Structure 1
Amino acid sequence: MADLIIPVPQPVETKPDRVRWGIVSTVKGSTAQIARFIAYHLDLGADRMHVHLDVPDAAVADRLAHPNVRFIQCDDAYWANRPKRARETHQMRQVFNASRVYRMCKLDWLAHIDVDEFLLPPTSLRDVLANADPNAPFVEIPPCEMMDSAGDPHHFKRACHGTKKRAIYPTYGEYVPGGFISTQSHKLFARTGLKDIRQGIHALRLKNQIVRGGTQIDGLELGHAHAPDFETFQRHLAYRLEKGSYHDRKGRMNPLGHLILALMDDPDPDALRAFHNEMCGASPERLDLLAAHGMLVTRELNLDAKVAHYFGTLEK
C-alpha cells in the first residue's frame, strides 16, 4: 500500500508565545524515574503531559501531581469496553493510548515518547515548533543514545555507519546496526487536528497507510537512556529479549538480540560487560573519537535539581 501525504489544515500557529505542545506516554518505572521524566519536560515548557500508568498506582499520581500533568490509571476499568487487541502487548497499549489522546487534545503539537527518553531541542521548543514547515504534518525526532557516564553533563552518541562505525566500535560495530543497542527509528512531534489519525510509536497512520511529508529540524534530537549503565542493561535484558527491542518479530530474526544471546552464553563471564563497555562506555578516548566524527551530543540535564524544584525531595 502506498505511503500517504495529507494536507495540513491552515493556518497553523507560528507565534512562539502561542504555540502549545505536550507529551503522551505509557510508562512503567519507579516513582523516581517517572519524576525525572516529568520534571525534565515540564522544565522545557510542556503545556500538558498525558502519563498513562501501565501498572496502575494511585500513590504515584498523588505524589507527582501537577497542574500540567494528567495521570491515567490503565486498570481494568480503563480497559473495559476497549478493543481486546489494544491491551494485548505493551506496544499496542502505547499506540492505543497515544491515539486516544491525539484525537481529543487541544494542543498544537503532541510528542509520543517513552519514560526513558528526553527531548533535546537546540533552543526553546516553542520557537522550534513555531518555525517548523507549516505544511508538514509532523516533525521527525532522531534518537541519540545515552552513554554510560555518571552525572552531568550527560553524553549521547548519534547513529553512524560504514567506516565511521568500524573506527568507533572495532570489535562489535560490524554486528550492531548504526552502533546503537537501541532503536535507530525516529519518534515524532505530530501536529494535532489531523482527522482520523492513529499516532503510533514511530509513525502516523491513516487507515493503515503511513503518513509521509514530515520534516526535521536541525539540532532537535531525542536522548534515549536505553542502557545508560551496565546494571540497567542487565535488568531489562529478559524483557527485551522476550517482548521488547531484542526479540524476533513476525518471522524476522533480530540480529542484535541473537548477538546478545550469544554473549550471554559465552564462557567468558565478562563478555556481555565488554560489549556494553565498547558500545556505551564514555571513556575520554571514546568521547574524543565520537566528537571527531561528529557523533557526540553533550547536555546537562540537571534531573535531580528539576525533580527537587517540581516535587521536592522524593521518599526513598
Structure 2
Amino acid sequence: MSQPTWGLVATIKADTSDILNFAAHHLDLGAHRLHIYLDQDNPQAFAALKAHPKCRVTVCDAGYWKRRGKSRPDAHQPRQSMNATHCLNKRPQVDWLAHIDVDEFLWPATPLQAQLAALPDSTRSARIRPVEAMAADPADPPAPGHTWFKGCSPFQGERRDQTAQIYPTYGTHLNGGFLSHVAGKVFVRTDLPDSSLRIHNAFFGKEKDPAPATLDDTVLCHLHAPDWPRWRAAYRFRLQQGSYRDGLKPPPASGAESLTMNALFTLLEAEQGEAALEAFFAEVCTATPDLRKRLAAHGHLHDIALDLDRKRARHFPDHI
C-alpha cells in the first residue's frame, strides 16, 4: 500500500527569507503540497513559490476576498482559519493537511508519512505537540547552528506543577513556561465530509474532534521568542492583537493569583518598564545553564539544528 501524502496550509505575512525558510524546511521533510496564502503581497516570495512544483500560492488581496464573497476579517486569527478551511475544502491534493504558522517547523524523529500511515482508519485528526525556542545564552551558547527548545507536559496538572518548579518567579502565570500556545497543531484527513480547520483543532460539522491522535514522534518547533530583538519587535502587536491580547484566559487550573499574559506584561511594564520585560525574558526565555538543567530534569530540553539557510539554498537557489 502506498504511503499517505501530507501537506501544509499557512497564511503568512513575513519577510521573503522567512517565507522561503518555512517552505524549504517542509519540502525537505517530504511535503507533497504547500499551500501558502500571502496575507500581504510579496512579489519576490510569490515568484519563488509559484515556480516550485509542490507549492501553491495565493495572494489574499481585495480581489481574493471579493471572489470568496466574504469580507476580510480585521483580525488575523479568523483569516487563518478561513484560509485553512478554504484549502481543505478545495482539493488540497494530499491525504493529510495541517495548518501551521511561518515560525513553526515540524520536526519528526521518524518519517512523517510512516507516522500518518500507522494511524487507525478511525483517526480523523492527529495532534503535534509544540516545543518553544529559547534565546541563546551569550555566556554559554549552543553548538553552532543549534537552538535550545523547551517542552512541557501534555497533562494539565503535571504541567502546572512542573512549571512552578522550572520557572520559580513567573511560573504561576505561565502555561508550561511557554509564551505562546501549548496546544500544538493538527493534521486532518482531507476526505472527510463537513470538515474545517481552526488554528489548533479540526472540526466536523460544528463539533471539535474530541479525540485526536497524537504524533508522539514529531514535535512542532515554534520560533516564538528566539531572541530578545525579535521578541521585542513583535511584543506590542502580540499584546494588542496577538497571543498576549486582552481577553485570553490565564493558565488552566491555576490559582486565583494567576494573571493572564496581558495582565502580567502590563503590570511588569507599569512597575519597571523595559527593564522588567528584559528581566522576564532573561529568566523565562533564555537558555541559561540553570534553566536548561531544570528543563532536562523533567525531560523537556531539546537541542535541534533546523539548518534553514542550507534548505533554502537547496530548494530556492535563486533566492539565497
TM-score (norm 2): 0.88
- Residues 89 and 62 (structure 1), Cα distance of their counterparts in 2 relative to 1, 3 Å cut: same
* Aligned twin of 1:18: 3
RMSD, aligned CA: 1.9
Which residue of the partner structure matches residue 300 of structure 1? 305
Whether 1:139 and 2:110 are equivalent positions in the alignment is no
Say if 2:84 and 2:99, in contact at 8 Å, map to a contact too: yes
The structural deviation recorded for 1:286 is 1.9
Cα distance, 1:79 vs. partner? 0.6
Q: Equivalents in 2 of 1:169, 1:41: separation in Å?
A: 32
Determine which of 253, 262, 266 is the counterpart of 1:261.
266
- Residue 187 of structure 1: aligned partner: 185
**Residue correspondence of structure 1 range 220-231 to structure 2 within 5 A:** 220-231=218-229
- CA gap 1:304/1:81 in 2 versus in 1, 3 angstroms: closer
| Alpha-carbon contact 2:10-2:99 (below 8 Å) kept | yes
Tell me the SS of whatever aligns to 1:32.
helix
Structure 1 residues 128-149: Cα deviation after superposition (integer angstroms, max 9, x where no partner): 1111222110111111111113
Letter in 2 for 1:236: A
Answer whether contact 1:241 1:247 (CA < 8 A) is retained.
Answer: yes
Show CA shifts across 1:72-124 (max 9, x none).
11011111043545533211111111111111223110010000001111211
Deviation at 1:169, TM superposition (A): 1.0
- Residues 205-225 of structure 1: CA distance to partner in whole angstroms, max 9, x if unpaired? 233221223111222211111
The runs of 5 or more residues in structure 1 that have no matched partner are 1-14
For 2:209 and 2:216, how far apart are their aligned partners in 1? Answer: 21
Aligned partner of 2:244 in structure 1 is 246
Residue-pair matches, total? 299
**Secondary structure of residue in 1 paired with 2:64:** helix
State the partner residue of 1:158. 151
**Residue 268 of structure 1: how far off its partner (Å):** 5.7
Specify which of 287, 294, 304 is matched with residue 289 of structure 1. Answer: 294
Task: Give the drift of 1:173.
Answer: 1.2
Identity over aligned pairs, percent = 37
Q: Which residue of 2 aligns with 1:175?
A: 173
Counterpart in the other structure of 1:202: 200
Structure 1 CA distance for aligned equivalents of residues 205 and 215 of structure 2: 27
List, as ranges, runs of 4+ consecutive aligned residues in structure 1 with deviation greater than 4 Å. Answer: none
Residue 124 of structure 2 corresponds to residue 125 of structure 1: no
Selected match of 2:24 from 15, 25, 39:
39
Instruction: Give the stretch that moved more between structures: 195-204 or 160-169.
Output: 160-169
Distance 1:201 1:269 in 2: 31
Is the 2:33–2:93 Cα contact (8 Å) retained in structure 1? no
Partner Cα distance (1:66, 1:73) in 2:
16
Distance change (3 Å), C-alpha of 1:66 and 1:275: same
Q: Which moved more, 1:261-270 or 1:40-49?
A: 261-270
* Alignment partner of 2:275 out of 270, 273, 276: 270
1:56 and 2:41 aligned = yes
Q: Deviations 1:248-299 (Å, cap 9, x if unpaired)?
A: 238x677111111122223364211111111111123322221121111222
1:7-40 Cα distance to aligned partner (Å, 9 max, x none): xxxxxxxx4x532110000001101111111110
